[in-house]
Structures are given as structure tokens and as C-alpha cells.
Amino acid sequence: MEFFTKTKAVELRSHLEKYLIADDDLETARQTRHGSSRKAAIWFVELVDEKSHVIRLKSSYGRYLTASNMPFLLGMTGKKVIQTELSGNNFDNWKLEWEPIRDGFRLRERD
């Protein structure tokens, strides 16, 4: 993956200047305007051997950023992301995989 060949860790920041951080409850991820919790704001990049076009994002707590089916806000189209462990079966692991997409000078993620 050309975006992450030399990158070991990233901070995820939205177009609204909010950072995605991993909560220390080991389950939730949330947005904040403060980058004060530097450890929680860092996501480690793991390349997926079988699929060269996707990555996994691991929190400093050792859990993975995972797509869920839960609505982010009532009435909105977005879904929540949570922290989970890498499971033994490959059936659910696709929820942990993110596809980086170049969008001008930014990079978007698609689950």
C-alpha cells in the first residue's frame, strides 16, 4: 500500500478538526477537539498480508478500530466505530479492515 509503506502510526482527524481517540474502557472510540490524550489519539497501522489494498488500525490499548452497525447519531446516516480484538475466525475480521482512498490532499477510509 503506497500510503503506508513507511508509516507506523497515524492520528485520525476529521475535516471538522476533531481527532478520533480510543477510550480506556477498551470498547469505545470517540471524537474530541483536543489532542491532549496523545496516547489515545495514536492508531498503529498494520498491513494485511492477504489484501494489499487494506489496513488495520490498532489503538495503544491493543484493540482494533472496528466498523459497527450501530447508528452514530439518531437520524444520521453514519455508523459508530468501536474497539474490538482480532478474532480467531476470519469471518468477522473484515470489519477491522479499512481501505484508504486518496481525496485530494486528504485520505479517507472506507470499511
Domain ranges, residue 16: 9-110
Are the CB atoms for 83 and 61 separated by under 8 Å? yes
Q: Could you tell me the CATH number of the domain that includes residue 52? A: 2.80.10.50
Query: Does residue 97 lie in a domain region?
Result: yes
Q: Which of 58, 93, 89, 65 is nearest to 79 (CA)?
A: 65
CA 97 to chain centre: 9
Q: Which of 39, 37, 83, 85 is nearest to 60 (CA)?
A: 39
Query: Does residue 4 lie in a domain region?
Result: no
Query: Does residue 63 lie in a domain region?
Result: yes
Query: Does residue 26 lie in a domain region?
Result: yes
Query: Does residue 2 lie in a domain region?
Result: no
CA 27 to chain centre: 13
The pTM assigned to this predicted structure is 0.82
Q: pLDDT tens, 26-79?
A: 999 988 887 666 777 899 999 988 888 889 999 999 999 998 888 777 666 778
Domain count, the chain: 1
